[in-house]
Amino acid sequence: MARKRTSWVVQWQRAQLQQQRAQAQAVKAHQRALREVEAARLRADRAKLAAYLDARNREALRQTREVEERVAALQSLLKVAIGKPTGIDFERLKQPIRELQFEPGFLSYTHPPPNPTAFAPPKSGGLLRVLPGPKQKYLEAVHAGRAALDAAQKSWETAEANRAGRLDEARKAHELAMVDLRRTIEAQHAEVDALADAFNAGEPQAVIQYFSLVLAQSKYPDEFPTERRVAFVPKSRQLVVEIELPTMAAVVPAERSFKYVKARDEIESTARPARERKELYEQVVVQTTLRSLYELVRADTSGHFDTLILNGIVRTVAPATGQPIAPCLVSVRVSKDTFIGIDLRNIDPIACLKGLNAGVSRSPDELAPVRPVLEFDMVDPRFVEEADVLSELDQRPNLMELTPTEFESVITNLFTKMGLDTAQTRPSRDGGVDCVAWDNRPIFGGKVVIQAKRYKNTVGVSAVRDLFGTVQNEGASKGILVTTSGYGKASFEFASGKPLELLDGANLLYLLEQHAGIKAKIVVPETWVDVFGDIPDPDEAPSDPP
């Protein structure tokens, strides 16, 4: 018995030990499973964090590339335009002639007529056919079915007639719409043809519209303004253009690059150095100017202008006053022949403009202005048109009918109102006035020689040469030649880069109205004969008065 008890105890102890071992193994397995779960979670967290960090780094890289692309676009403003067609194909301005397909929609669907079998009662069989009661009911049902069929047939016919009528109305409306569309397209084609004929004939408004379209079709980055103004001076064969330039803040990125800072979980930017921003903005100004000149010159396949004047302005708000300002940052006058001889693929834009004697702002980023070669408003077509209308009024003095002394007084009064101290001298042989004036501004001021010529025909280049000689002999800082007519290409080419200003008849009328309050006109008497003090250029045809 003792042995049996001992054996039983041993077996129990062994079972207990096995159970403890199994529990320990289960605990270890559970702990192992927990560790594996935790490790998987950590791996997932690390993967998620790595993906997040990668996304943030890629976003910083994307922003950096975006800035680099914007800068590259600014640096290649001129390059991307070279070689591209710039002229306007009048035929492509015409709307395409197209026929709109007639689409009747649901009106084209015909509903089927009523089915007679659907209205017939079921046939009776056997005794029901001969028995009086059922037979009578069957006949009544047949009669009622026929009546319902007749009503349905009439309703269908009415609906079909209504559909056919609406379909016919829709077809007629479509035909009328097509007639209107054809008329509209034909009228638009006629307008384009009229514009083409007027442009080929050199009519000023058509020339202005054509070159406005040339500038409008040139694609710039979205941040660039699209305002352009164009004027044409037939007398001098000058095209005068004013383009609006963007501000530095609008187009030049203030950031150079971006990077992700893990410690702060932020994407930070690296600032672009101020000097780099200024140089890049200067490139924007000069490249936009040269590109506009290039596109206009290339587009003038009909040879409407000889000289091109371009002013680049910026419309913004003055920080000191909060008032709107429009400083001129670049101004250039160039002959078409001169510009055609420039290989824009191999030039330095800034050096090129300086070689053309252009006025370029010393600090475009600070909106430091330059004096325009010619104020656009002085040749604004709206002013010229108004002057043409007002010139018919008798109360407007005709400059061509004034005595030499009266004309001298008008010119002297004008430049006095413009801020110069004037001293009138003897009348010149052509009935104009020689005037010596002083500009009292420090540094930029000095002695100014002014000569006015009342001419019907184009002033020759010899008069400009004579004025330059007078400026040198008098030790003057500037010479101004004013005429009631206009100048030719040779005159502008000679004056380029010299301290000379050439003002034509339209300019004179504008200045008299704006500064002296004199609304004048220039109407040349039929008996007028120019007494030339200079030799007209053979390649410069006589011009009509403004």
pLDDT tens, 257-293?
A: 999 999 999 999 999 999 999 999 999 999 999 999 9
Q: At what angle do helices 204-216 and 132-200 cross, to 10 degrees?
A: 110
- 546: pLDDT confidence band, cut at 50, 70 and 90? very low
- 148: pLDDT confidence band, cut at 50, 70 and 90? confident
Mention every residue, 6+ apart, whose C-beta is less than 8 A from residue 397.
518, 520, 521
CB 171 within 8 A of CB 178: no
Whole-angstrom distance, CA of residue 256 vs CA of residue 276: 10
Q: Which tokens is 68 given?
A: 């680099």
Give residue-wise pLDDT tens across range 73-122: 999 999 999 999 889 999 999 988 777 788 888 877 888 888 888 777 77
Three-state DSSP class for residue 499: coil
Whole-angstrom distance, CA of residue 450 vs CA of residue 435: 5
Phi, psi values for residue 309, rounded to 5° = -115, 130
pLDDT of residue 387: 43
CB 545 within 8 A of CB 420: no
pLDDT of residue 399: 87
pLDDT of residue 1: 52
Give residue-wise pLDDT tens across range 6-37: 678 788 888 888 888 888 888 888 888 888 89
Q: Which tokens is 116 given?
A: 């007679």
**End-to-end Cα, the chain, rounded Å:** 146
Give residue-wise pLDDT tens across range 200-254: 999 999 999 999 999 999 999 999 999 999 999 888 899 999 999 999 999 999 9
Rounded to two decimals, the pTM is 0.72
Q: How far lies 154's CA from each of 160, 166, 451, in Å?
A: 10, 18, 98
Mean pLDDT of 301-320: 93
User: Does residue 424 have a pLDDT over 70?
Assistant: no
Q: Provide Rg for the chain, Cα atoms.
A: 44
Whole-angstrom distance, CA of residue 297 vs CA of residue 504: 23
CA 430 to chain CA centroid, Å, is 46
CB 258 within 8 A of CB 267: yes
User: Does residue 129 have a pLDDT over 70?
Assistant: no
Q: Residue 47, exposed/middle/buried by CB under 10 A (0-12, 13-18, 19+)?
A: exposed
Whole-angstrom distance, CA of residue 245 vs CA of residue 228: 10
User: Does residue 393 have a pLDDT over 80?
Assistant: no
Least confident of 197-201, 367-371, 390-394, 535-539: 390-394
Instruction: Share the mean pLDDT of the chain.
Output: 85
Q: Which of 118-127, 203-212, 521-530 has the highest mean pLDDT?
A: 203-212
Q: Which tokens is 546 given?
A: 């403004």
- Match 């006095």 to its residue by tokens: 416
Q: How many CB atoms lie within 10 A of CB 83?
A: 10
Own/partner pairs, 142-146, CB within 8 angstroms, 24+ separation: 145/119, 145/120, 145/121, 146/119
Mean pLDDT of 452-470: 89
Question: Which of the two residues, 301 and 378, has the higher pLDDT score?
Answer: 301
Mention every residue, 6+ apart, whose C-beta is less than 8 A from residue 364.
248, 278, 281, 282, 285, 329
pLDDT of residue 208: 95
pLDDT of residue 128: 55
Mean pLDDT of 385-410: 65
Whole-angstrom distance, CA of residue 272 vs CA of residue 277: 7
pLDDT of residue 126: 55
CB 242 within 8 A of CB 311: yes
pLDDT of residue 338: 93
pLDDT of residue 125: 59
Residues facing residue 240 across a β-bridge: 231, 309
Give residue-wise pLDDT tens across range 166-205: 888 888 888 888 888 889 999 999 999 999 999 999 999 9
Q: Which tokens is 388 given?
A: 């043409």
pLDDT of residue 395: 64
User: Does residue 498 have a pLDDT over 80?
Assistant: yes
Three-state DSSP class for residue 356: coil
